[in-house]
């Protein structure tokens, strides 16, 4: 896929990819960048594999929740619709967080019922547009039935809420009200407790 960088705005650059905005076409382009420290053939295979996995998960997730629509792709690049809303991180407040966190819980329950593990559940990866929440950035995501993986997903979200939204009382509890729709809710709660105990033990 040939990109005309003159038409693109670089939104962010992480360890694995650059995220571009094509404002004229209202598109997001995720471009997995080569790593010079890796053997060329291995680097290409890894980038292809991760791009294919992300495409697969976006397609699967789109059947149950709101995600950006995939427009085009090649071995290393995914072109998606630009969800022009606000990051949940920036709009959560005392008036709306109870309702919104419950909705996030419903979204994650739907993901986990489909055995999708996001692996980067933060309010920075959730976009609020026209009262709908879109989940973005599936670059680390994978498919798994393991309760452990789902417990880790929740643990990461809980830590993110306690770090970024510590002023919003019981935000994670409101999330759990929605997450109860996950069919193995109690099993994940038990595993989450064990994950947290392991974390406390490590810090002693």
What's the pLDDT tens digit per position in 173-194?
999 999 999 999 999 999 999 9
Residue 21: both structure tokens together: 């905005």
The reported pLDDT for the residue numbered 36 is: 85
The reported pLDDT for the residue numbered 95 is: 92
Confidence of residue 35 (pLDDT cuts 50, 70, 90): confident
The more confidently predicted of residues 51 and 35 is: 51
In order of start, what are the domains of the chain with their CATH numbers?
5-81 (3.30.200.20), 86-202 (1.10.510.10)
Is residue 134 classed as helix, strand or coil in its secondary structure?
A: strand
Q: Is a pLDDT exceeding 60 seen at residue 203?
A: no
Confidence of residue 200 (pLDDT cuts 50, 70, 90): low
179 and 154 Cβ atoms separated by less than 8 Å: yes
79 and 27 Cβ atoms separated by less than 8 Å: yes
pLDDT per position as a tens digit, 88-133: 999 999 999 999 999 999 999 999 999 999 999 999 999 999 999 9
Q: Is a pLDDT exceeding 70 seen at residue 63?
A: yes
The reported pLDDT for the residue numbered 5 is: 74
Residue 29: both structure tokens together: 């382009």
- Helix 147-164 vs helix 97-113: crossing angle, to nearest 10: 160
How buried is residue 78: exposed, middle or buried, by Cβ count under 10 Å (0-12/13-18/19+)? buried
How buried is residue 42: exposed, middle or buried, by Cβ count under 10 Å (0-12/13-18/19+)? exposed
Alpha-carbon distance of 96 to 73, in angstroms, equals: 36
pLDDT per position as a tens digit, 123-173: 999 999 999 999 999 999 999 999 999 999 999 999 999 999 999 999 999
How buried is residue 69: exposed, middle or buried, by Cβ count under 10 Å (0-12/13-18/19+)? exposed
Residues marked active site are found at 120
32 and 77 Cβ atoms separated by less than 8 Å: yes
The DSSP code for 7 is G
Which of 8, 3, 11 shows the shortest CA–CA distance to 127? 11
Instruction: Compute the half-sphere exposure of residue 129: CA atoms within 13 Å on the CB side of its CA.
Output: 13
18 and 10 Cβ atoms separated by less than 8 Å: yes
Average pLDDT, rounded, for the chain: 94
Confidence of residue 16 (pLDDT cuts 50, 70, 90): confident
The reported pLDDT for the residue numbered 201 is: 59
7 and 79 Cβ atoms separated by less than 8 Å: no
């Amino acid at each position: 896929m040939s990109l005309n960088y003159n038409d693109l705005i670089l939104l962010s650059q992480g360890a694995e990819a650059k995220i571009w905005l094509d404002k004229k076409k209202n598109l997001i382009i995720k471009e997995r960048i080569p790593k010079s420290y890796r053997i060329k053939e291995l680097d290409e295979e890894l980038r292809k594999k991760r791009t294919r996995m992300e495409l697969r998960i976006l397609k699967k997730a789109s059947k149950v929740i709101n995600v950006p629509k995939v427009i085009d792709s090649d071995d290393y690049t995914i072109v998606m619709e630009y969800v022009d809303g606000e990051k949940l991180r920036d709009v959560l407040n005392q008036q709306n967080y109870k309702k919104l966190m419950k909705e996030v819980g419903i979204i994650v329950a739907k993901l986990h019922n489909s055995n999708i593990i996001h692996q980067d559940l933060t309010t920075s990866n959730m976009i609020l547009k026209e009262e709908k929440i879109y989940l973005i950035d599936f670059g680390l995501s994978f498919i798994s039935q393991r309760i452990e993986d789902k417990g880790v997903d929740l643990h990461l979200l809980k830590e993110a809420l306690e770090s970024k939204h510590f002023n919003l009382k019981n935000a994670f509890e409101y999330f759990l009200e929605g997450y109860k729709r996950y069919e193995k809710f109690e099993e994940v709660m038990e595993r989450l407790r064990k994950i947290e105990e392991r974390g406390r033990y490590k810090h002693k």
